[in-house]
Structure 1
C-alpha cells in the first residue's frame, strides 16, 4: 500500500476523523486511505497488518483530540502507558521507519509534550502540527493537503496516463491507420452518401418545482452497520428558504441513533444531495459525536439551484448508501408535539418535585462482576417552561469478584422510544462485594408521553417504565 494512514482514538476524535477520511477518499481515492479495522480483511492478524500498512504508507496523520493523551482503559490506566496501545504502536512504527508523521489537531487540542509521551513517541512533540477547526474546516483541510507528500494514483489511472505520455508515436500511428482505413471504405462523390447526424430532440420544458417553506419528506429511517457500531438514521424534517437570488437553502434535520457500545461520530461526511443526479456536498460543517446507545440530532445545509428538478438525499455509512427522495409536492409537515391549553394550565398548577414510583430491581453482569441495581429515588422538577428534569438515584450492590464501573454509560432514558444519555456527570466505581449509590439526571420535554429507565452493563440491559400519571393527575 502507498497512501495515507490515519491514526486516531475513537473515543477522542471519531467524528472529526470520519469527516477527514471521507474527504481524503474523495481527493485521493478510497484505496489510498487506511483507517483502522474498517480496511482489514476479516481473519488477518491485526498487529502484523498494522505494521505492514504503516511501513508502506507515504504519510501517517496522527489525529489528536482533547483526550488523546489522557484516555484511560477500563482499569483507569493511561492508554499511552500501555506498550500494546494501538495508537502508540501505529505512531511509533511510523517514527521508527522515518515515515512522515503529521499531528492533526482537532477539538482545540494541542500537541502533547515530551513529559507525558512515552520515550518512543518523543519525536512527535517536535513535529509541525496542522489544526482542523470546525469554522474553517475546508480552508484548514486544503492547507493540510498541501503539506502531504505526493500520493500515487491508483495503478489503473496511472497506467493510462503513462500509455498516452510514453507512446505518442504508436497511438498517433494507430489513429492515422484507422482514418485511412475509414477513407478507403467510404463511397466517393457526393457527401450526401455519408451518414447524416440525427436532429437534436427539442428540449423538454418542465415547470420549476414548488418549494414550500414547511417540512418536506420526513420519518424515513435507514439502518447501517459499520466496524464500530450499528446506526439508525431518521430524517425528521426538511425545509427550504430563499437565501440567495439564484439558490435555495435546503436544511435537513436528521436523528442519528448509535445502537452500539462505542462512541461514534456523524457529520457532513455522511450526506450527499443529488441535484438532478449531480452530487453536492453539504455546507454546514456538522461534526457530532454520539454516545453509546444514544441518539443525537443534527441539521445539514445544502445550497440548491432554484432550477433544480429532482432532489435525492443520500446517507453514506461505510460502503452503504440509503437514498431518500425529497419531494416538495407530496410530503406532509412534521407533527410537532405540543401541549393543549388544558395541559398548559394544569402544568402551571403542579407542585414540584413530583415523586415517581421506585423499588425496581435488576441483576446485571459484565466481564468483571455481577451487580444488583435497585432504583431508590426518581423525581421530576420543572427546569424550564418546556423541559422537565428527571433525577434518578440507584443503589448498586456488587457481588464480585472485581471492581466495576459506575458511570453515566450505565444509564439511559428512552423518551418516547428515543434513547438519551444523562445530562449529569457520573464517573465512579464499585468495589467487589460492596454497595454504592449513583445519581444521574435526564432532560425530558414536557410533551413526553412515556419514559423508560434503562440500566446497562456492557451488552446487558434492564428496562423499567416510569409511571408519569402523578404529573398529569
Structure 2
C-alpha cells in the first residue's frame, strides 16, 4: 500500500507536478507514491481505488498550482464546487480518515487558498501548514520537499514542547530531587550510643 498520495488538478502545473512525483519516487521508492495516472492499472475500478487509497494513505500531498483553486468546467462552474469533483473527494476522504494532509504550493507566487474560498468539507485545508516548491530554486525546493516528507513518514523530530530544552507548563510541579539526608538520634533504653536513623525512635533491647 503506497504511503504517500499525490492529489492534483490535471490541468494545473503539470511539469512541476511530474518533477515532484519523480523526486519523491527516487527518494522513497516508486511503490510508496500513489499517483492516479500511474498507480491505477487498466481495467480497474478507479473510483474504488481512489477512495480506498485516500482513506488509507499515511500522508496526502495536495499539489496546488496557480490554476488549482479557480479551475472551471465548460459550463463555467468552478470544479471544486461540484460534489463529484475528484480533487475535492480525495481531500475530504483523507481529512475524514484523520490522515495527515499537507498542501504543497507549486511555484513562487501560488498562495494557500483561504478556508472561506473552499467547500466546507475541505475548508480545513486552508488552515494547514504548507510546503512550497519554488520554480526559481527548483532543485533545492524539491530536495527540501523530499526531506520534509521523509521526516513526516518516519515521525522524526521531537513533538512540540518536548525535549531537554522544553519549558515546563506553568502548573507543572518541579521535578522531585533526592530527599536531603538528615542525621537523627536514636535513644537506646538502658544506655548505648547514638547512630544514624530514619527518624527519632526509642529502641528497647530484647
| TM-score, normalised via structure 2 length | 0.70
Determine the C-alpha separation between the residues in 2 that align with 1:2 and 1:37. Answer: 14
Looking at structure 2, the residues matched to 68 and 88 of structure 1 have their Cα atoms a distance apart, in angstroms, of 11
2:99 counterpart of 1:99: yes
**Match of residue 143 from structure 1:** 144
Q: Does the alignment pair 1:74 with 2:67?
A: no
Deviation, structure 1 residue 27:
0.7
Residue 266 of structure 1: aligned partner? none
Conserved 8 A contact 1:8-1:63: yes
- Which residue of structure 1 aligns with residue 122 of structure 2? 121
Residues in 1 aligned to 2:124 and 2:148: alpha-carbon distance in whole angstroms: 18
Aligned residues: 151
Q: In structure 1, the residue corresponding to 2:104 is in which secondary structure?
A: strand
Deviation per CA, 1:207-256: give whole Å up to 9, x if none. Answer: xxxxxxxxxxxxxxxxxxxxxxxxxxxxxxxxxxxxxxxxxxxxxxxxxx
- 1:86 paired residue number: 86
Name 1:191's counterpart in structure 2: none
What CA distance in whole angstroms lies between the structure 2 residues aligned with 1:101 and 1:137? 22
Distance in 1 between residues matched to 2:78 and 2:19, nearest whole Å: 27
Residue 44 of structure 1: CA displacement?
A: 1.7
- C-alpha offsets along residues 354-392 of structure 1, whole Å, 9 cap, x if unaligned? xxxxxxxxxxxxxxxxxxxxxxxxxxxxxxxxxxxxxxx
Q: Deviations over 1:307-355 (max 9, x none)?
A: xxxxxxxxxxxxxxxxxxxxxxxxxxxxxxxxxxxxxxxxxxxxxxxxx
Displacement of 1:29 after TM fit? 1.0
**What is residue 109 of structure 1 aligned with on the other side?**
110
The structure with the largest helix share of the pair is 2
SS of the residue 1:10 aligns to: coil
2:27/2:146 contact within 8 Å kept: no
Matching residue of 1:22 = 22
Residues 17 and 63 of structure 1 are in contact (CA less than 8 Å); yes or no, is this contact kept in structure 2?
Answer: yes
1:135 deviation in Å?
2.1
Name the structure 2 match of 1:62. 62
Displacement of 1:46 after TM fit?
A: 1.6
Note the 1:284-295 alignment, pairs <5 A.
none
* SS of 2:101 mapped into structure 1: strand
**Matched-pair contact (CA < 8 Å) for 1:132–1:141:** yes
Could you tell me how far apart the structure 2 residues matched to 1:39 and 1:65 are?
A: 22
Gaps of 5+ in 1: 152-473
Contact kept? 2:2, 2:32, Cα under 8 Å: yes
Task: List per-residue Cα deviations over 1:104-147 (Å, max 9, x = no partner).
Answer: 11132111112210001111011111111122222222322333
Bigger mean CA deviation after superposition, 37-46 or 72-81: 37-46
Moved more, 58-67 or 32-41: 32-41
For structure 2, the 5+ residue unaligned runs are 155-206
- Separation of aligned partners in 1, 2:13 and 2:136: 17
Q: Which residue of 2 aligns with 1:132?
A: 133
> C-alpha distance in 2, partners of 1:64/1:28?
21
Tell me how far 1:51 sits from its aligned partner.
1.1
Report the Cα distance in structure 2 between the residues aligned to 1:25 and 1:3, rounded to whole angstroms. Answer: 11
Higher fraction of strand:
1
| Conserved 8 A contact 1:8-1:14 | no
